[in-house]
Amino acid sequence: MAGRTLYEKIWDAHIVRSYDGGDDLIYIDRHLVQEVSSPQAFAALDEYGRTVRRPEAHLSVADHAVPTKNRSQELKTGLAARQVERLVDNCHRYEIPYIPTDDPRHGIVHVIGPELGFTQPGTTLVCGDSHTCTHGAFGCIAFGIGASECACVLATQTLRQRKQKTMRVSLDGALPEGVTIKDVIIALIAKIGTGGGVGYAIEYVGSAVEALSMQARMTLCNMTIEAGSRVGLVGVDEKTIAFLKGRPLSPKGADWEAAVAAWANLRSDEDAQFDHCVSLDVSQLAPQVSWGTTPEQSVSVTGHIPDPMQESDPDRRFGLQKSLDYMALTAGTAIRDITIDKVFIGSCTNGRIEDLRSAAAILEGRTVAPGVSAIVVPGSAATRIAAEAEGLDLIFRSAGFEWREAGCSMCVGMNDDRLAEGERCASTSNRNFEGRQGIGGRTHLMSPQMAAAAAVTGRLTDVRELLSCR
Ligand code: SF4
């Protein structure tokens, strides 16, 4: 029998039935539920008189809309109050576990899933949010779904899906100082394009991936969707197991031993055939910054804004100029000459403890530049508590950052944290589309340490300059 990829192994193990034409009905092990995409799904259950097939297979939390400042007061009267109330009511009626906004387990859905051990290798996991691919860092098939699909999962614990083709992305070499996995994934997207992964499940392999922490692997898988692929995976190794051991929802006792034994084979076979292969030597990378309105429109921080007139394809030329116009940038401008108004450190891409540590290391003994406002929003309450135990909050506050409660915050213009029209932000989030952080807001994606460096200087900055003068 020919070798199989990790994706194929997990997929094949979850087929309930196959249809003529190529679709499969696959079993869904786990479903994360949040306040934005779930109301329509619950309304569909109400309308058709359906029950939830396995309430314990779902876990619910409010993250997108929740305020990160004055939360208890805002949730009495603010915009998010109704959304949170509705989620609480729906979860209560259908007996789905719900994590309250003041609970120490609260946080962004893609941060708390792994933290709690809800995310497990070899499973299928879905959520009504496209960055569900984050969980693939644990060797599972995890992908975002729409509201009607959420209803289907709630009612039947299955989904009709088309199996994706497979892409192997080999990341090799050692990360240079000042370069993080965020820079790697931005550089990869700039290389293959925002459509480069469409139709593929991407498996990340190579020496650079093996060297990554689980937190960095989550950052990597998180941005897979920005390359057009719904699924990003990393094979299971001892780091995966160590991360999950002892988590509240991880298997216990003999079940843990059995699970570890079952997870051991969750890697692609040596002779597995991928439909497409890409490789990147990460040792040659510099810190990356997005300049446009897609993650593909990114360059090294040492680079310049590209000139649309150098583009021969008229459609691409038009797209480049449109991005420049929205971002109010001029071709040829040095990236390091671009000044900023705001800094956002957080999100399901870079709101974990390692991200906060790396940003705090840049900020220690330094202050935010005059005229710049900066917030740091831990990805979860547990992250916030851990950061405070290490004194990171004091470093951020001393530098002039606001220290907020956990939530999606300024990653998405769905709550009180947003950019005003024309404001320019150094952001650790994952999307820089027009209006993503607020109508008319301008987003530059980068790593946490690059965002910290920008906060200190008030402009897009090569963090290596600050590292060298420690
Ligand atoms: S932090 Fe941003 S990308 Fe992540 S779940 Fe929230 S809104 Fe989605």
Give the CATH number, domain containing residue 346: 3.30.499.10
User: Is the confidence at residue 1, as pLDDT, over 80?
Assistant: no
* Ligand 1 pocket member 32 (CB < 6 A): no
- Residue 135 CB less than 6 A away from ligand 1: no
Are 299 and 262 members of one domain? no
Residue 294 and residue 231 share a domain: no
Report the separation in Å between the CA atom of 418 and the middle of ligand 1, taken as the mean of its atom positions. Answer: 14
Tell me the mean pLDDT in the region 377-401. 98
Expressed in angstroms and rounded, the spacing between residue 317 Cα and the centre of ligand 1 is: 30
> Average pLDDT in the 206-230 region?
98
Share of the chain above pLDDT 70, in %: 100
Same domain, 211 and 148: yes
**In-domain check, residue 246:** yes
- CA of 412, closest atom in ligand 1: 7
The verdict on the CB of residue 131 being under 6 Å from ligand 1 is: yes
pLDDT at 74 over 90: no
Same domain assignment for residues 300 and 254: no
Q: Give the CA radius of gyration of the chain.
A: 22
Both 432 and 324 in one domain: the answer is yes
Ligand 1 atom closest to the Cα of residue 431 is 3
End-to-end C-alpha distance for the chain, whole angstroms: 56
Q: State the pLDDT confidence band at 72, using cuts at 50, 70 and 90.
A: confident
What's the 433 CA to ligand 1 centre distance in angstroms?
A: 13
Q: What is the mean pLDDT of the chain?
A: 97
The per-residue pLDDT for 352 is 98
The answer to whether residues 312 and 195 belong to one domain is no
Please indicate whether residue 410, judged by its CB atom, sits closer than 6 Å to ligand 1: no
Q: Do 12 and 53 sit in the same domain of this protein?
A: yes
**Region class of 340: left (phi > 0), else alpha (psi between -120 and 50), else beta:** beta
Q: Helix, strand or coil for residue 390?
A: helix
Nearest alpha carbon to residue 407 among 98, 81, 65: 65
Residue % of the chain over a pLDDT of 90: 96
One domain, residues 311 and 254: no
Of 255, 276, 297, the position where a domain reaches its end is 276
* Per-residue pLDDT at 346 exceeds 80: yes
> Residue 308: which pLDDT band, with cuts at 50, 70 and 90?
very high
Does ligand 1 come within 6 angstroms of the Cβ of 64?
A: yes
Query: Which domain, by its residues, includes 60?
Result: 6-276
For residue 468, name the pLDDT band (cuts at 50, 70, 90). confident
- For residue 236, the one-letter residue type is V
Give residue 273 CA to ligand 1 midpoint distance, Å: 33
Tell me the CA–centroid distance for residue 350 and ligand 1, in Å.
Answer: 10
User: Could you read off the pLDDT of 144-159 as tens digits, one per residue?
Assistant: 999 999 999 999 999 9
Does the C-beta of 110 come closer than 6 Å to ligand 1?
A: yes
Instruction: Note the pLDDT tens digit of each residue in 6-24.
Output: 999 999 999 999 999 999 9
- Count of domains observed in the chain: 2
> What band does 442 get if pLDDT is binned at 50, 70 and 90?
very high
Ligand 1 centroid–CA 321 distance in Å is: 28
For residue 230 and ligand 1, the question of a CB distance below 6 A is answered with: no
- Ligand 1 centroid vs 311 CA: distance in angstroms? 33
Please state the rounded mean pLDDT for residues 441-452.
Answer: 98
pLDDT, tens digit, 9 for 90 and up, residues 113-154? 999 999 999 999 999 999 999 999 999 999 999 999 999 999
CA of 139 to the centre of ligand 1 (A): 21
Residue 133 in tokens = 């691919």
Residue 281 lies in a domain: no
- Model confidence at 469, in pLDDT bands (50, 70, 90)? confident
pLDDT band with cut points at 50, 70 and 90 for residue 73 = confident
Distance 4 CA to ligand 1 centre (A): 32
- Give yes or no for residue 31 CB within 6 A of ligand 1: no
Distance CA 33, CA 381 (A): 18
Which of 72-86, 336-350, 372-386, 412-426 has the least mean pLDDT?
72-86
Q: What is the pLDDT of residue 104?
A: 98
Report how far ligand 1's centroid is from the alpha carbon of 257 (Å).
33
- 215 and 68 inside one domain: yes
Closest CA to 171 of 180, 184, 183: 184
Determine whether the shortest distance from the Cβ of 347 to ligand 1 is under 6 A.
yes
Q: Are residues 370 and 419 in the same domain?
A: yes
In this predicted model, what pLDDT tens digit does every residue of 241-262 receive, in sequence order?
Answer: 999 999 999 999 999 999 999 9
- Per-residue pLDDT, 261: 97
C-alpha–C-alpha distance, residues 443 and 436, integer Å? 8
Distance of CA 384 from the midpoint of ligand 1 (Å): 17
409 lines ligand 1 (CB under 6 A): no
Q: Are residues 67 and 201 in the same domain?
A: yes
Q: How far apart are CA 363 and CA 59, in angstroms?
A: 36
Looking at the fold, whether 296 and 249 belong to one and the same domain comes out as no
Say if ligand 1 is within 6 A of residue 436 CB: no
What pLDDT score was predicted for residue 332?
A: 98
Whether residue 79 has pLDDT greater than 90: no
Residue nearest to atom 2 of ligand 1 (CA): 411
Decide which of 423 and 1 is more confident.
423
pLDDT at 78: 73
* 411 C-alpha to ligand 1 centroid (Å): 6
Stretch (H or E) spanning 92: helix 80-93
pLDDT value of residue 77 = 77
Q: What is the pLDDT of residue 423?
A: 98
Q: Which of 347, 409, 414, 415 to mutate to test the pocket of ligand 1 (most atoms within 8 A of CB)?
A: 347
- Cα–Cα distances in Å, from 420 out to 50, 213, 413, 446? 43, 35, 10, 20
Amino acid letter for position 464: R
Please identify, among 257, 276, 295, the residue that sits at the C-terminal boundary of a domain: 276
Residue 151: inside a domain, yes or no? Answer: yes
pLDDT confidence tier of residue 80, bands split at 50, 70 and 90: confident
Candidate of 63, 185, 436 to mutate for ligand 1, largest count of ligand atoms within 8 Å of Cβ: 63
Q: Which of 226, 247, 276 is the last residue of a domain?
A: 276
Domain assignment present for 1: no
- Report the atom number in ligand 1 closest to the C-alpha of 110: 5
